[in-house]
Amino acid sequence: MNDLEIIEKTKSLLGDKIVEIANPAVRRIFIKVEPQNLVPVVGGLKKNLNFTYLAAVSGVDLGESFEILYHFGHNNGSLTVRTQIPRANPHIESICSVIPGAILYERELQDMFGIVVDHLPDPRPLVLPDGWPAGDFPLRKDWKFERPEEIIPGGKK
């Protein structure tokens, strides 16, 4: 199956749920969807086109909104499903019901961007330490690291 066949098949099966399909390079396809259509599109791709392997979930801070990219791998290349959610109300539906292996990537997304992934089977923090202050999301562009002042016990004042 080459890129054109994948695009054709995706259009005919899920055409009404897709905003845009791009094919910028060989074996690289980008599909843009509305957030509410994410789970049906991922489910359709898995069922009909055998995109079972989720390689990664990337978040990007675009300022007014967040972009979330779901990178899928396949024996014929790579396909990325992208969607945008507003920064003011960052909610996205979990795809764990379709792809159980997505859990760690979605938990990481919650930690690093403060995007709330709804209906996640296990929403505990994943990568940030236990005492991490609430509301600090390191990969947001407005977050800056400030090194805490070092205090040596019994040291000079």
Partner 1 sequence: MKFTIPIGPQHPALKEPISLRMTVEGEVIQDADIRLGYNHRGLEKLAEERTWIQNIYLTERICGICSHSHATCYVQGVEKLMELNPPKRGLYIRTLVAELERIHSHLLWLGVAGHEAGFDSFFMYTWRDREVVMDLLEMISGNRVHYAINAIGGVRRDIDEMQRKKILDGLEILKTRTEYYFKIGANEPTFVGRLAGVGYLSKEKAVDLCAVGPMARASDLPQDVRKDDPYAVYDEVPFDVCTADTCDVLGRTVVRIKELFESYKICEFLMKNLPPGDIAVKAPTRAKPNEVVSRYEAPRGENTHYIKSNGTNKPERLKVRAPTLANYPATVEMLKNGFIADIPLIFAAIDPCICCAERTVNIVNARTGEEKILRFDELRALAEERFKKMPPKRNAVWPF
Q: In this complex, which beta carbon is closest to partner 1, that of residue 74 or of residue 120? A: 74
Q: How far apart are CA 51 and CA 99, in angstroms?
A: 10
Phi, psi angles (nearest 5°) of residue 67: -105, 135
Instruction: Pick the closest to residue 110 from 130, 71, 139, 83 (CA basis).
Output: 139
Taking the complex as a whole, how short is the minimal distance between the CB of residue 100 and partner 1, in angstroms?
5
Segment lying near partner 1 (by CB under 8 A), choices 9-17, 31-39, 86-94, 120-128: 120-128
Q: Is 138 near partner 1 (CB under 8 A)? A: yes
The sign one gets for the Cα dihedral 32, 37, 39, 44 is negative
Q: How far apart are CA 35 and CA 68, in angstroms?
A: 9
Work out the burial of residue 20: count CB atoms within 10 Å of its CB; fewer than 13 is exposed, 13-18 middle, 19 or more buried.
Answer: exposed
DSSP conformation class of 110: H
* Site residues (CB under 8 A) for partner 1, limited to 74-103: 74-78, 80, 99-103
Quick note: the x/- pattern for partner 1 over 17-56, rule CB under 8 A, is -------xx-xx-----------------------xxxxx
Taking the complex as a whole, how short is the minimal distance between the CB of residue 156 and partner 1, in angstroms?
30
Interface contacts to partner 1, rule CB under 8 A: 24-25, 27-28, 52-56, 58-61, 69, 71, 73-78, 80, 99-105, 112, 125-129, 138-139, 143, 145
